[in-house]
Structure 1
């Protein structure tokens, strides 16, 4: 789980409750009072505590049979591949595009399914990425870079902390992520590979669109780049 915040909180709680045996948590932040309206795995007794430790304590109370592996540091291009190699699936609950692109690239090279979500003030989206596999028609599955070819310029879009996000919204999207993870782990139903589910909280409306592989994407496109080349580009 990348991030033990607004999205990570419900993901971790529901996966622990479902009995997922091992959960890794990556987060370099500490619990603050402003987090608590949306990061419901933490409470006032854990203010100032590393989020990975706080989340591990909450999981132990919920299901002591779950092994929690806390990683109290930021995931980077230097440690991403090694970190995710020990796990079957990755969930991205980060709140910035740098990490989302990094995780989508790393999961491609590590051949790990990725369930990724994002939230705005009153909206959110979720998709599942398996670009290292082919779709039923034989074509490669799309990448995150097929959906969002260009990374927004740093500082152009506000983070959840800066914009202000309804706590219930991260709960909805995080619960959807947990559902997708359980489907992926059990092979149940149709996953969101090649589909982006968008949620409008103001209208309480959901819409799902399909997206396909772009031959211009640098992962499984016509001119793929290496992990080192992508890291150098930033």
Structure 2
């Protein structure tokens, strides 16, 4: 890729004093794995692709359904019933074809988690169940990889960075897996579309700051209440 093309495409990032040419190079050398191609995974993928992350992988085993389209904005009507990873590949080809995009059409479980996560520098948890969340956390601890965590429900969202430069992790915040009946989900309780866009964009920002080696808050859970428009932090 020619340097003048790179500069023109990413100039508005390069103009930021804290990023510059060296920071953009770091972003372009980063390898990131997003787990989940739904409401959170969609904006994370969009903004990491737009920023020029060098290697961007997406793990998901689901297919696009009509009810996804209110929030999963990388998918469209033409992608209905396609796998979400192939739909994401369509989006990537149109949005930034220069990126090394790696669709991983598989359900991450205890047998394959380490193998799937190992090649990547930063793991982004955009999944929708606690079993996978705890597995990702455990695997990141074993492999010493940072984990960007986000969750959404109704009008509310959460965000945290785990296991980054010796910081705390998911078990320090939630020591045990909650019973399934106590876990809210979009299928039963719903979610307004812009919420995952907000939380996913915040997650992407944390990934980019890590990639560019900028300061990142750790040992804090950011709480977002979009109904009452309140933002707060919980130290743990």
TM-score range, shorter chain: 0.7 to 0.9
- Cα deviation 1:210-231 (Å, max 9, x = unaligned): 11xxxxxxxxxxxxxxxxxxxx
- Cα deviation 1:184-234 (Å, max 9, x = unaligned): 10012x3132111100011111001211xxxxxxxxxxxxxxxxxxxxxxx
- Cα deviation 1:143-194 (Å, max 9, x = unaligned): 2001001211123323222210111001000000000000010012x31321
More helix per residue: 2
Equivalent of 2:85, from 23, 46, 52? Answer: 52
> Could you state the TM-score of these two structures normalised by the residue count of structure 1?
0.84
> Could you state the TM-score of these two structures normalised by the residue count of structure 2?
0.84
Separation in 2, partners of 1:145, 1:127: 12
What's the counterpart of residue 81 of structure 1?
A: 114
What's the counterpart of residue 100 of structure 2?
A: 67
What's the counterpart of residue 175 of structure 1?
A: 201
1:192 and 2:225 correspond: no
Structure 1: gaps (5+ residues): 135-140, 212-234
Separation in 2, partners of 1:57, 1:112: 29
Separation in 2, partners of 1:92, 1:164: 20
What's the counterpart of residue 231 of structure 1?
A: none
Separation in 1, partners of 2:194, 2:181: 25
Separation in 2, partners of 1:88, 1:100: 18
What's the counterpart of residue 221 of structure 1?
A: none
Structure 2: gaps (5+ residues): 1-33
- Cα deviation 1:11-42 (Å, max 9, x = unaligned): 00100010001111110000000000000000
CA shift for structure 1 position 3:
0.3
Aligned length: 203
Coordinate RMSD, CA, aligned: 1.1
Separation in 1, partners of 2:89, 2:56: 9
Structure 1 consecutive aligned stretches of length 4 or more whose deviation exceeds 2 Å: none
